[in-house]
Chains A and B, each alone.
Chain A
């Protein structure tokens, strides 16, 4: 995955050090230098067929760099190779002959993909002194980027300490004191420096460094597990400052910070034109977006400043200018005003429709406000109340109602949490069918079985304690979002593998959808029991519905509306057999939903073929002309039915209509339909079929006409399914 690109002079990131040095002191949150040991001492696999320390180290360093790139923090990163073939560092320059085999691969700069690409592919045959490397790193952290203020400084050392540093204790102590003074933190990743297996003099020194500089240490495995997922770019907490007012005279200065908000991981994608040769963004072509306003009456373009607002009301357009502006609402100044306090149970999840959640703290550095807010929080908790406030975000913004709920957070935040709730205008007033009727009663045994399931699938004990730090699965606000992670994965993959097709979500992401194995195992027995206790029957029509969703056919339109109609009107009530209740005169006219059925019912009601002919032909025409998805079976079936009916008594009705209809089809260039009519033998009724017919023959082969007559149903079924298949495959 990671490949070597020779060179190393073109490493400077244009947004990196070059710019930094020309600016006034820039604040950088974190400066990190990774010291990666690539010497002979790390080249051998630790276990047979396993990865060498070098390979693991390189992978881990790559992951750290990738994570730093993706999180887009104000972080600088430098890389030092320990045990490199060449020597390239300031200390060696100052005192030639020292700090050998230590190469500053990249200066401190914003992390780039080329840092990963430039990591060596193979270990060297040299060896380097890790203590010297620490000094080189420290020197570079201190002096490498002038005019920059780095808040936190870190050195990550990845070596197996198999090359002794041979340094006097005095020097070590001096170095540690220096590190402490400068605020450098030394982290060691790779070996378990607390395991007895690895114990030697150097590891002991390493421990000293970690402990004295308040650093951290972890093995490669642990680190890789910790870095399994990307960290998205952090958003700075920006306060919304306002006075929380209770009545006209009490005003407590507070600040609200957004705590939870649903935001896409990439807020806005930039667009460019693809250069067809290079498949990358074109430098000579750009995108121009232009908003055009068109007058719908005369289709002319209207200039933007000639546009006024208006409202549609009762099918009439009312220009805004006509409205009395003095009647428009004035929300007033930016404010947060208490309306009242109510029992906390009155505010439920269903009331909330705000966008995310904010925490309200007393204003910084205002001790009195902090005291008052703390008192308010405690009293609200004790009385089990929450506040209801009216918030105007900024002067003149529409007011919104919020609940202010007391919180004592796990982070020891003592504050009020603020969430928007609905206005009356936003309640949809939906009605649902009743379910508390006998038919839907569940028995005790069934409920008990679900209770067993709940016990078996308790996610708070999803993992064995020995395996993980935490036994809870899907911890709230701690799980990563599969979709966000996948997008970041794709970005990292594309950067390192330009031109290659994007991968499917990796297993670590797919796992986020899976029931933990222990839960799965525990629930197996109960689920079997559940299946026995409940009768669940699939309703078959489902498949048909699914297909119809994609069509725009008139016929389906009807059908769709009738199904959704059932959704709406019958809701979730069981279907009762309507046929038993059906009266013949319930059908008023022939529709496109069940034309044959409608026809038969109306006919039973005493109507004759000639009475119904117009309705029937209208239905057929609308089914065919309005059809877009190519499934004509219902229309053709209806035609067949109609033809058969006419065949018995009045062939002229059918023949006359068919003549017009065919002309119409030709005009509309619906040759496929004409072909289908021929194929299904829906041609004129011949004199040979009924003596009343005036049509003697038609060009098509008529030898199978009688077959058609005797086995209409069979033919229908066969052909319709073939037609179906034909169009389904298209």
Chain B
């Protein structure tokens, strides 16, 4: 991987997100939303522990009678996890909660709960990049009448001090929402139009929603997209996926003896070799200064050298981050099976730099969608990233996420990224184009394909290596009973293949291995992992020399070449053989011809 690319993905943030999860347990005995919310929250915390995220997460129950756990003497709140990075202890504590660990309050008050949350944020020692409250609740029981106004006031106070309130409607069925929550939602949504959250009863869905709501939401870049001169719109560039392997980097290294964490530093030293006659003189080592460094490449028999500073200039002389429209092309030109280069970005508008951006963005989106066109742009996301040409392809609900507008940013491969496949040393291709597939064969193939048809969902495969690693750690860190069963989603259930007619397939298409048997030397050379060159040899000369017993005239490499060329069954590896032995081998194997 290019080092510049690494920098591309370095998040540039300050502070960490702070999240308070509030679980409503008032009248839990009636609706029992606690259980669902509890499972979802436990999973959320677990996931954060797995990824070693730095989110500060607190979990509180409200609508309870106790007061002992709240630092601030707020009666209706039971603080289970304080606002900090969740620890194993916290998790275990949360996990052990049951409906019997709290007493439901006699009357439902919410204002103090919100006040308690704001206190928690105020007392958090960490630098928070965002502050949000996620409420897991039903929306049919309003606080007692006297508490309603204070609650709404508190809510708007929170919003004013940039604390988000996100409400998750937990229920397994639709029901009438208390008018109080309509007011509450309106405040939570900053006075804007709001959508009443749909009831969710599935803990996995709730967990997913909480992940979305607690996501850092960091942009790779925020840019002004230049549609034309003096017509810019504010956009942000995101990655909706992690790159493969990005989940793995949380390993730490420990000292075998003390189990203390070990950090690694690469020391770069300048070593001076004194050209004195004294052989005992030790090379001198001094720390290297960057300006002393030269970068070089061999080209045309010479070393082409650059200083450290020049290297920086060479890497990107094209100026600051930018995004500029170059034109449009029909959407069909970007076909992924031919031109996929690397993970794309996602483009979303924002109003922070230019007001009116969203409207213009949506109009462009609609126009592109209607005409089935993509916008072609030049994009440079960061100061140190290379300018690339991208296609903006209108997308709706990417990865099944609730996103109503946006463009997929698709990398155009440059000619430098495309490799020529010189496969023409065989007649493969010509034959391929002429070949005609028989109907019977096609029918069988189609039967197989249809038999194995599945409905693909982006989240249907879990990384089995990662998942089993998590479980191995958790078996150690948590109680054993806590270990979720491991299911390798990447391997299809063998039963699915029971109905395909592989015997008929073998009969019609096979056997494939025949060739391999005929050419064992192929197998031999590929298994040894070394590419062995076999050039044509002058067979007439060989035969002449065989006849005249003059094989000795060949050089060692030529002898080896002859032996490889002759494709001898069970030929041993030739390294280390003496010339005489090679000559004998040639006589032995080649005389038959």
Contacts of B86 in A (CB 8 A): 314-315
B589 at the interface (CB under 8 A from A): no
A486 at the interface (CB under 8 A from B): yes
Contacts of A314 in B (CB 8 A): 49, 86-91, 477
B174 at the interface (CB under 8 A from A): no
Interface segment, one of B228-236, B540-548, B575-583 = B228-236
User: Is B307 a contact partner of A350 (Cβ separation < 8 A)?
Assistant: no
Determine how close the nearest CB of chain A comes to the CB of B295; give it in whole angstroms.
Answer: 4
User: Is A460 a contact partner of B329 (Cβ separation < 8 A)?
Assistant: yes
- 29 example contacts (A-B, Cβ-Cβ < 8 A) are as follows A149-B535, A263-B2, A293-B264, A308-B253, A313-B49, A315-B88, A316-B477, A317-B261, A329-B469, A339-B491, A342-B455, A354-B244, A364-B428, A419-B337, A425-B463, A426-B243, A428-B239, A429-B211, A431-B212, A436-B405, A441-B362, A448-B367, A454-B368, A459-B329, A483-B315, A486-B314, A505-B318, A527-B228, A561-B127
Determine how close the nearest CB of chain A comes to the CB of B472; give it in whole angstroms.
Answer: 4
Q: How far is the CA of A30 from the CA of B17 in the complex (A)?
A: 60
User: Is A291 a contact partner of B511 (Cβ separation < 8 A)?
Assistant: no
If A446-B363, A573-B192 touch, whether A401 touches B490 (CB-CB below 8 Å) is yes
User: Is A285 a contact partner of B270 (Cβ separation < 8 A)?
Assistant: yes
Determine how close the nearest CB of chain B comes to the CB of A408; give it in whole angstroms.
Answer: 9
Q: Which residue of chain A is the closest to B215 with respect to CB atoms?
A: A430
Contacts of B356 in A (CB 8 A): 534-537
If A235-B419, A586-B161, A588-B118 touch, whether A296 touches B340 (CB-CB below 8 Å) is no
Q: How far is the CA of A567 from the CA of B288 in the complex (A)?
A: 42
User: Is A564 a contact partner of B476 (Cβ separation < 8 A)?
Assistant: no
User: Is B468 a contact partner of A328 (Cβ separation < 8 A)?
Assistant: yes
User: Is A306 a contact partner of B255 (Cβ separation < 8 A)?
Assistant: yes
B343 at the interface (CB under 8 A from A): yes
B83 at the interface (CB under 8 A from A): no
B106 at the interface (CB under 8 A from A): no
Q: How far is the CA of A414 from the CA of B163 in the complex (A)?
A: 57
Determine how close the nearest CB of chain A comes to the CB of B409; give it in whole angstroms.
Answer: 9
Q: How far is the CA of A504 from the CA of B313 in the complex (A)?
A: 9
A216 at the interface (CB under 8 A from B): no
A398 at the interface (CB under 8 A from B): yes
Instruction: Tell me the B240-281 residues at the A interface (CB within 8 Å).
Output: 240-244, 246-247, 250-275
User: Is A290 a contact partner of B266 (Cβ separation < 8 A)?
Assistant: yes
A326-357 interface mask toward B, CB cutoff 8 Å, 1 = contact, 0 = none? Answer: 01110100000111111100111111111111
Contact of A583 among B153, B258, B492 (CB under 8 A): B153
User: Is B477 a contact partner of A576 (Cβ separation < 8 A)?
Assistant: no
A412-424 interface mask toward B, CB cutoff 8 Å, 1 = contact, 0 = none? Answer: 1110010111111
Q: How far is the CA of A340 from the CA of B569 in the complex (A)?
A: 39
Q: How far is the CA of A583 from the CA of B15 in the complex (A)?
A: 27
If A113-B301, A523-B228 touch, whether A262 touches B255 (CB-CB below 8 Å) is no
A667 at the interface (CB under 8 A from B): no
Interface segment, one of B28-36, B62-70, B499-507 = B499-507
B591 at the interface (CB under 8 A from A): no
Interface segment, one of B97-105, B136-144, B176-184, B346-354 = B346-354
**Number of chain B residues whose Cβ lies closer than 8 Å to a Cβ of chain A:** 255
User: Is B373 a contact partner of A454 (Cβ separation < 8 A)?
Assistant: yes
User: Is A24 a contact partner of B453 (Cβ separation < 8 A)?
Assistant: no
Contacts of B272 in A (CB 8 A): 284-285
Q: How far is the CA of A659 from the CA of B585 in the complex (A)?
A: 98
User: Is B337 a contact partner of A296 (Cβ separation < 8 A)?
Assistant: no
Contacts of A382 in B (CB 8 A): 442, 446
User: Is A446 a contact partner of B428 (Cβ separation < 8 A)?
Assistant: no
Determine how close the nearest CB of chain B comes to the CB of A445; give it in whole angstroms.
Answer: 9
A261 at the interface (CB under 8 A from B): yes
Interface segment, one of A172-180, A266-274, A717-725 = A266-274
Interface segment, one of A126-134, A365-373, A681-689 = A365-373
Instruction: Tell me the B430-464 residues at the A interface (CB within 8 Å).
Output: 431-433, 435, 437, 441-442, 445-446, 448-450, 452-456, 458-464
User: Is A435 a contact partner of B561 (Cβ separation < 8 A)?
Assistant: no
Contacts of A573 in B (CB 8 A): 190, 192, 351
A431-474 interface mask toward B, CB cutoff 8 Å, 1 = contact, 0 = none? Answer: 11011111111100011111101100111101000000000011
User: Is A566 a contact partner of B162 (Cβ separation < 8 A)?
Assistant: yes
Q: Which residue of chain A is the closest to B210 with respect to CB atoms?
A: A429
B526 at the interface (CB under 8 A from A): yes
Contacts of B367 in A (CB 8 A): 447-448, 450-451, 453-454
A376 at the interface (CB under 8 A from B): yes
If A287-B269, A347-B456, A581-B191 touch, whether A536 touches B233 (CB-CB below 8 Å) is yes
If A285-B271, A302-B262, A571-B350 touch, whether A368 touches B510 (CB-CB below 8 Å) is yes
Determine how close the nearest CB of chain B comes to the CB of A111; give it in whole angstroms.
Answer: 6
User: Is A315 a contact partner of B315 (Cβ separation < 8 A)?
Assistant: no
Contact of A313 among B334, B437, B473 (CB under 8 A): B473
User: Is B416 a contact partner of A480 (Cβ separation < 8 A)?
Assistant: yes
If A314-B91, A417-B338 touch, whether A371 touches B366 (CB-CB below 8 Å) is no
User: Is B423 a contact partner of A425 (Cβ separation < 8 A)?
Assistant: no
A530 at the interface (CB under 8 A from B): yes
B160 at the interface (CB under 8 A from A): yes
B382 at the interface (CB under 8 A from A): no
Contacts of B90 in A (CB 8 A): 314
Contacts of A405 in B (CB 8 A): 336-337
Q: How far is the CA of A337 from the CA of B494 in the complex (A)?
A: 12
User: Is A295 a contact partner of B260 (Cβ separation < 8 A)?
Assistant: yes
Q: How far is the CA of A407 from the CA of B340 in the complex (A)?
A: 13
B76 at the interface (CB under 8 A from A): no
User: Is B269 a contact partner of A72 (Cβ separation < 8 A)?
Assistant: no
B298-309 interface mask toward A, CB cutoff 8 Å, 1 = contact, 0 = none? Answer: 111111111100
Q: How far is the CA of A631 from the CA of B503 in the complex (A)?
A: 80
Contacts of B329 in A (CB 8 A): 458-460, 474
A559-580 interface mask toward B, CB cutoff 8 Å, 1 = contact, 0 = none? Answer: 0111011111111111110100
User: Is B156 a contact partner of A295 (Cβ separation < 8 A)?
Assistant: no
B520 at the interface (CB under 8 A from A): no
If A371-B437, A413-B429, A435-B362 touch, whether A25 touches B350 (CB-CB below 8 Å) is no
A676 at the interface (CB under 8 A from B): no
A170 at the interface (CB under 8 A from B): no
A264-301 interface mask toward B, CB cutoff 8 Å, 1 = contact, 0 = none? Answer: 11100111111010001100111111111111111000
Contact of B14 among A253, A422, A491, A560 (CB under 8 A): A560
User: Is A494 a contact partner of B418 (Cβ separation < 8 A)?
Assistant: no
A669 at the interface (CB under 8 A from B): no
Contact of A70 among B299, B301, B473 (CB under 8 A): B299
Contacts of B231 in A (CB 8 A): 527, 530-531, 534, 536
If A460-B329, A589-B122 touch, whether A288 touches B512 (CB-CB below 8 Å) is no
B571 at the interface (CB under 8 A from A): no
Determine how close the nearest CB of chain B comes to the CB of A580; give it in whole angstroms.
Answer: 9
A125 at the interface (CB under 8 A from B): no
A318 at the interface (CB under 8 A from B): yes
Interface segment, one of A8-16, A49-57, A194-202, A703-711 = A8-16
A193 at the interface (CB under 8 A from B): no
Determine how close the nearest CB of chain A comes to the CB of B136; give it in whole angstroms.
Answer: 16
User: Is A379 a contact partner of B475 (Cβ separation < 8 A)?
Assistant: no
Determine how close the nearest CB of chain B comes to the CB of A309; give it in whole angstroms.
Answer: 6
Q: How far is the CA of A190 from the CA of B294 in the complex (A)?
A: 40
Interface segment, one of A92-100, A513-521, A605-613, A647-655 = A513-521
If A454-B368, A516-B327 touch, whether A306 touches B446 (CB-CB below 8 Å) is no
Contacts of B79 in A (CB 8 A): none
User: Is A414 a contact partner of B433 (Cβ separation < 8 A)?
Assistant: yes
B479 at the interface (CB under 8 A from A): no
Contacts of A183 in B (CB 8 A): none
Interface segment, one of A161-169, A207-215, A244-252, A638-646 = A244-252
If A399-B465, A429-B208 touch, whether A341 touches B244 (CB-CB below 8 Å) is no
B481 at the interface (CB under 8 A from A): no
Contact of B348 among A235, A401, A432 (CB under 8 A): A432
* Residue among B128, B354, B419, B511 facing the most chain A CB atoms (10 A cut-off): B419
A700 at the interface (CB under 8 A from B): no
